[in-house]
């Protein structure tokens, strides 16, 4: 079972570059979300989606865009990378958010220089 797959695992960007972090799940989950985790901190919610075509902002959405064209995929786009976006990014999915747990990918470690 693949579960939640994130690519790439590691990425180095220059300030101002753009890129897309990929997230795919094969469990037919409606709910997907993106978090960032900074050293010694918990996860902060960036964006989430409750189904294909529906997205909404989390706690720290600035500088990031998302789309949800299919149930399986939920890419996260960095529009113009900044050093403050250096972090570990986690994607998660869940059948629903009110009664079930979330399944996490292994993370993407992003460094912006």
Binding site for other proteins (CB under 8 A): 4, 31, 33, 35, 40-45, 48, 50, 56, 58-59, 90, 92, 97-107
**36: nearest Cα among 101, 113, 110, 112:** 110
Cis peptide leading into residue 18 (ω within 30°): no
> Which residue's CB is nearer to other proteins, number 59 or number 69?
59
> Which residue's CB is nearer to other proteins, number 3 or number 16?
3
> Which residue's CB is nearer to other proteins, number 17 or number 30?
30
Q: Angle at CA 75, nearest 5°, toward 2 and 110?
A: 90
């Amino acid at each position: 079972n693949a579960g939640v797959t994130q690519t790439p695992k590691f990425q180095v960007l220059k300030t101002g570059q753009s890129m897309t972090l990929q997230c795919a799940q094969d469990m037919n989950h409606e709910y997907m979300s993106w978090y960032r985790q900074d050293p010694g901190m918990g996860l902060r919610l960036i964006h989430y989606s409750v189904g294909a075509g529906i997205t909404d902002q989390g706690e720290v959405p600035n500088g990031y865009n998302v789309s949800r064209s299919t149930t399986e995929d939920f890419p996260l786009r960095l529009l113009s990378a900044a050093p403050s976006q250096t972090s570990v990014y986690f994607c998660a999915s869940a059948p629903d958010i009110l009664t079930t747990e979330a399944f996490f990918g292994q993370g993407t470690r992003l460094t912006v220089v």
